[in-house]
Amino acid sequence: MPSARKKPAAAKKPAPRQRELKTQRLELRLAPSAKKVIHEAMSVTGLAAGDLAYEGARRLLEEHQRMVLLGADRDAFLAAIDRDAEPAPRLVEALGRHRRLLG
């Protein structure tokens, strides 16, 4: 009996952007080598230079906003959020003042 093979999961495609009129311009000065790379990327992907710039910027921001912790850093973070911490005395005092002033 032949073994059943699972098909590899398709890579998630980014959600399609809602079409927006292109009314803004961005002028760049590039080194010839950078221009060559951009043109090669345009021919490989079929994207316009502006769309390539947008996708690159979006990915960069996405990576910047995602926090990845490995090893000891991850363990320390998870231990910190699992801990039942008592509120700091200054926080308790501030809450008391807030309640006295604002009811």
Residue 85: predicted pLDDT: 84
Report the chain's mean pLDDT, rounded to a whole number.
Answer: 87
DSSP 8-state symbol, 83: S
Q: What is the pTM of this model?
A: 0.50
Residue 3 backbone phi and psi in degrees, to 5: -75, 140
pLDDT band with cut points at 50, 70 and 90 for residue 16:
low
pLDDT band at 13, cuts 50/70/90? low
| Mean pLDDT across 81-102 | 93
Whose CA is closest to 15, among 79, 75, 58?
Answer: 58
Q: What is the C-alpha to C-alpha distance for residues 78 and 80, in angstroms, rounded to an integer?
A: 5
